[in-house]
Amino acid sequence: MLTLVSFLVTLGILIAVHEYGHYRVAVACGIKVLKFSIGFGKPLYTWRLKNKTTEFSIGMLPLGGFVKMLDEREAPVDPAERHLAFNTQPLKSRAAVVAAGPLANLLLAVLLYSIVNWTGLQEPKAILASPVAGSLAEKAGLRGHETVLQAAFEGDKLKTVRSFEDLRWRLTQGALEGLDLQLVLGGEAGAGTRTVLLELSQFDAATADAQLFRKIGLPGPWTPPVIGEVMAGSVAEKSGLRAGDLVERIGERAIVDGQQLRETIRASAQGAAPGAAATAPQLWRVVRSGQTLALQVAPDIKLEDGVAVARIGAYVGAPPELITVRYGLFDGLRQGAVRTWDVSLLTLKMMGKMVIGESSLKNLSGPLTIADYAGKSATMGLSAYLVFLALVSVSLGVLNLLPLPVLDGGHLMYYLWEWVTGRGVSDVWMDRLQRGGVAILLGMMCIALFNDVTRLVG
């Protein structure tokens, strides 16, 4: 239920802001607005503001909205009101009305990011987990439990890394744009700093998907290698493991963090005999209440997507250490604008790479993924939900600015043609372009929906 409510609230806010941008600028330009609707289909609720001619309504299908303006191309217009019609307005006014919707979404994102910056957000500290074996992170010399103090792409000035989410954003940018990332690391107990270079330029952006950070080798922040909740009747319980046990060693391998502990357990299935239900017993050394214990643990083997994976039946790893990231009034606003700009550019670059085949179409997401993330972010608190809302708002704004005939960007393309040639697009070409735009948009929606189902089912 929370997922559905969060999804509807998300759509409602984004659609209302987008359409209000069109409406507000249309009114400012002296255009008569006949109807403002959030949603399509049969109106569920309709009202009018005092001394206003516009009818406001909420439609049954909350998958879009529209602003209907007086226009001679849609219906006859009283000569006395012709100056109020959209089609009779100067080119700059028509372009401003069309561009106002996407720009409203981008301004909303700036505001939302700024609010989060001002109020503060709990994020994991930028402490690195042990890198995935054979990954870029391991090859760069990362070992785990290092704190990232500063980071910069080659040629840029070093900037402070305030949290692991800050680092994750830089990793995303570097991987998708082919930029190497320099990291300044601090060790434990006041040890000196050292610098490493993550050669993200070697990463193939075409393979970027939901497993991006695992492929880089840094799937998450550092967490202590402790045992959490133990399931009744599980291997963990039968072996004597208890919640709160700190795992120091498995066999001859020292365990640094929760990530390494999970990987070690999963990988133990590789040495098991074919068809076995469990791995060979392993010697685990754990610390419990200050005492070191030696336990024999034989993880169960489960098949996941046809791959044998070992499980012990217990939650592995504790939550990461958190820090509150907060900015002042002006710095928070500036950071909100910078993040909106960066996300917009990255979104455009990703779309461009998908068009030319340099990035996977698996990165397209549809309504099911949006609904899923809306619900998850809502459970994490208001700040996390606002960040999610800002991200989707940026995506909606950028998408609508694409030069596809059925989108706002397509109309702006028509106006550019009119400005250059001095005449509008002919009805014949308008019809052809609209059909082509609908076909492309439907294709994108089908791919996004397929990706949604694949992610959720898989």
pLDDT given for residue 129 in this prediction: 87
Q: Quick one: which H or E segment has residue 369?
A: helix 367-379
pTM for the full predicted model: 0.79
Where does 70-192 show beta strands of DSSP type E?
121-124, 147-153, 159-160, 181-186
356 and 341 within one domain:
yes
364 and 332 within one domain:
yes
Question: Which of the pair, 268 or 129, is modelled with greater confidence?
Answer: 129
Domain end call among 221, 240, 270: 221
* DSSP structural state of residue 200: G
Residue 17 lies in a domain: no
pLDDT given for residue 206 in this prediction: 62
**Which of 33-37, 216-220, 385-389, 423-427 has the largest mean confidence?**
33-37
C-beta separation of 241 from 286 below 8 A: yes
Confidence of residue 148 (pLDDT cuts 50, 70, 90): very high
453 and 345 within one domain:
yes
109 and 232 within one domain:
no
Contacts of 1 (CB under 8 A, 6+ apart): none
Domain end call among 279, 295, 316: 316
Residue 16 lies in a domain: no
Residue 178 lies in a domain: yes
What is the pLDDT averaged over residues 148-163?
90
- CATH number for position 261: 2.30.42.10
Residue 44 lies in a domain: no
Please return the burial class of 290, using the count of CB atoms within 10 Å of its CB with bins 0-12, 13-18 and 19+.
Answer: exposed
Residue 79 lies in a domain: no
Residue 51 lies in a domain: no
Catalytic (active-site) positions: 19
**Cα–Cα distance between 153 and 200 in angstroms, integer?**
10
Q: Look at residue 121 and tell me whether its pLDDT is greater than 90.
A: no
Question: Which of the pair, 39 or 110, is modelled with greater confidence?
Answer: 110
In angstroms, the Cα distances linking 75 to 86, 203, 414, 426 are: 12, 55, 21, 19
139 and 217 within one domain:
yes
**Cα–Cα distance between 22 and 20 in angstroms, integer?**
5
pLDDT given for residue 266 in this prediction: 82
Rg (CA), the chain: 27
**β partners of residue 66:** 37
Pairing of strands 121-124, 322-325: antiparallel
The domain in which residue 131 lies consists of 124-221
Residue 11 lies in a domain: no
pLDDT given for residue 277 in this prediction: 59
236 and 184 within one domain:
no
Q: What's the domain count of the chain? A: 3
Digit-coded pLDDT (tens) for 197-233? 999 888 776 666 567 788 888 888 988 899 988 898 8
pLDDT given for residue 359 in this prediction: 62
356 and 263 within one domain:
no
pLDDT given for residue 152 in this prediction: 93
* DSSP structural state of residue 101: H
Confidence of residue 285 (pLDDT cuts 50, 70, 90): very high
203 and 276 within one domain:
no
pLDDT given for residue 287 in this prediction: 92
296 and 248 within one domain:
yes
**Cα–Cα distance between 392 and 6 in angstroms, integer?**
13
367 and 302 within one domain:
no
Domain end call among 170, 192, 221: 221
Residue 47 lies in a domain: no
DSSP for 159-186 reads EE--SHHHHHHHHHHHHHHT--EEEEEE
What is the pLDDT averaged over residues 129-149?
87
Least confident of 72-76, 116-120, 277-281: 277-281
202 and 215 within one domain:
yes
pLDDT given for residue 174 in this prediction: 87
334 and 307 within one domain:
no
**Cα–Cα distance between 128 and 72 in angstroms, integer?**
62
Q: Look at residue 138 and tell me whether its pLDDT is greater than 60.
A: yes
Digit-coded pLDDT (tens) for 368-418? 566 565 666 666 778 888 888 998 899 889 988 988 888 898 889 888 888
